[in-house]
Amino acid sequence: REKPKRSGIENKTATEATVYLYDAIGGFFGIEPGKFVKDLNDTKATTIHLRVNSPGGDVNAARAISTALSQHPAKVIAHVDGIAASAASFLILAADEIEMAQGAFLMVHNAWALTIGDAKAHVETAALLDKYSAAIANDYARRSGQPIDVVSAWMDGETWFSADEAVTVGLADKVVETTAAKNQWDLSAFQNAPKSLCI
């Protein structure tokens, strides 16, 4: 779907910078993690505002960006302006604070992949996906304080959290009383996307 793609760093000063993650993560057409991390590391601001509206994307690309955010010396405040789905939902956990706009959503699910090959190839991919999902589940559990079996059940069920629900379960810290950004993403690949978001 045609959509405005936006990533990069704006409003840089000695004390604050705004980093936009308004696109899919990684892949052929999404945010390229190498450039994103380089731009982030070149930012010397003491506070970084990470503004997110993303359907997710490649788990390895998201992990690279998440690691760079967690290792940056600045205080990082994540603002979920629209949706933080799939890989975007664990990427934001690297922030020191997570704020969600009223009407924004956060979605968690198990890792996905496409496999081409024989039965052995599919079995190997399944084992790898289990490892990815376990690592991500640990991220959610560590941030939220919820038991790992509860988090795993969220992921098994592809759970969409409203802003208020995300705060209640510990995946966000604060709801901001502002209108969420309009969804620009085709979410038909997901089973449980709220009807209000489907386009």
Catalytic residue among 7, 66, 86, 152: 86
The predicted pLDDT at position 59 comes to: 95
Q: 138: alpha, beta or left, given left = phi > 0 and alpha = psi -120 to 50? A: alpha
The predicted pLDDT at position 197 comes to: 80
Catalytic residue status for 144: no
Instruction: Quote the pTM value.
Output: 0.87
Retrieve residue 1's tokens: 């779907």
How many residues does this entry show for the chain?
A: 199
User: 6 and 36 in contact (C-beta within 8 Å)?
Assistant: no
Catalytic residue status for 86: yes
Catalytic residue among 109, 133, 144, 152: 109
The predicted pLDDT at position 1 comes to: 41
The predicted pLDDT at position 27 comes to: 79
Residue 161 and residue 196: Cα distance in Å, rounded?
13
Q: Which one, of 106, 102, 97, lies nearest residue 74 by Cα? A: 97
Query: Helix (H, G, I), strand (E, B), or coil: what is residue 23?
Result: coil
DSSP for 70-116 reads HHSSSEEEEEEEEEEETHHHHHGGGSSEEEEEET-EEEE--------
In sequence order, what are the beta bridge partners of 101? 176
Q: Beta-carbon neighbour count of residue 1 at 10 Å?
A: 6
The predicted pLDDT at position 5 comes to: 53
List, for the chain, all residue ranges whose pLDDT scores fall below the cut of 50. Answer: 1-4
